[in-house]
Structure 1
Amino acid sequence: MKSYLINCLAVGIGGALGTLFRYLINISILGSPFPLATVIENIVGSFVLGGLTGWLVFKKIKEWLKTGLGVGLCGGFTTMSTLAADTVMVYQNMDMGWAFFYITLSLFGGIIFAGLGYLLGVKLGEQTAQRKAGEQT
């Protein structure tokens, strides 16, 4: 029960920070009919989550920290509901072509950057593991 509560607290703190970072990006990119801020948030969040996932293949950290960073921080930073609402807004204010571009950019950009983040995380994890192995010999 104690670890469950610690995980919940980590998710809450991570989520609050992720949401704050998302909000800061949104207010810094105002006035555009195209929701560039949401694209940036979702692609960067996908990259960070991919990187964390790849890095954690080699690094053992406490479950509450893993949950707080992944589910909390990255989950609070990225947003499916804003993606959906922004798609409707782009369709209404621009046209179907821009809405399709937005969805395509968001979806494939997120997947590509999650993969790139994962590869970077694995590379960093391997380097750390090799460095530690070299220090122990």
Structure 2
Amino acid sequence: MNILFVGLGGAIGAVLRYLISLIPIKTSYPILTLLTNLLGAVFIGFVAGMLSYGKISKNQSLFLKTGVCGGFTTFSTFSLESVQLLEQGKILGACSYMSLSLILCILGVVLGSCLSSFAHRG
């Protein structure tokens, strides 16, 4: 049953990621991957917080964290785009992308956790 929860969540996450990739933004900077990973970080922080407050079950956590977030966020794409920026000689762009991804996504998890705390109280 756990495999079913993860698989269904992963399918939903992958479709959501694809839909974000359709946003018509023309730039060499991988802003849509950064946005996707930031949204995923906030969401996973929220889900983890809700799990810690007992507001969601372990099966719901599997569906949302491992499934939806796993299918939605994309570390491999982040890695590929970072290498491509470096290969294109866009050192500043690559460094800013890697730094922003790391810092913003960690802050996103913290924000999501804080949001779950507010949801838990309210």
Which bin holds the TM-score, normalised by the shorter protein?
over 0.9
CA distance in 2, matches of 1:107, 1:75: 17
1:32 deviates by 1.8
After superposition, the C-alpha distances for 1:8-49 in whole angstroms (9 at most, x for unaligned) are 011001001101110111121453211111000000000000
Q: Percent identity?
A: 34
- Structure with greater Cα Rg: 1
CA distance in 1, matches of 2:24, 2:95: 21
- Judge conservation of contact 1:57–1:122 (CA < 8 Å) in 2: no
Q: Give the structure 1 partner of residue 27 of structure 2.
A: 32
Q: 1:57 aligns with which of 52, 64, 85?
A: 52
Give TM-score scaled by structure 2 length.
0.92
- Judge conservation of contact 2:12–2:68 (CA < 8 Å) in 1: yes
Count of residue pairs brought into register by the alignment: 122
- 1:67 matched to 2:62? The reply is yes
CA distance in 1, matches of 2:33, 2:24: 10
- 1:98 matched to 2:93? The reply is yes
Q: Which moved more, 1:30-39 or 1:11-20?
A: 30-39
Q: Which moved more, 1:88-97 or 1:36-45?
A: 88-97
Superposed CA RMSD in Å reads 1.4
Give TM-score scaled by structure 1 length.
0.83
* Runs (5+) with no aligned partner, structure 1: 1-5, 128-137
- Judge conservation of contact 2:51–2:58 (CA < 8 Å) in 1: no
1:70 deviates by 0.5
Q: Which moved more, 1:97-106 or 1:49-58?
A: 49-58
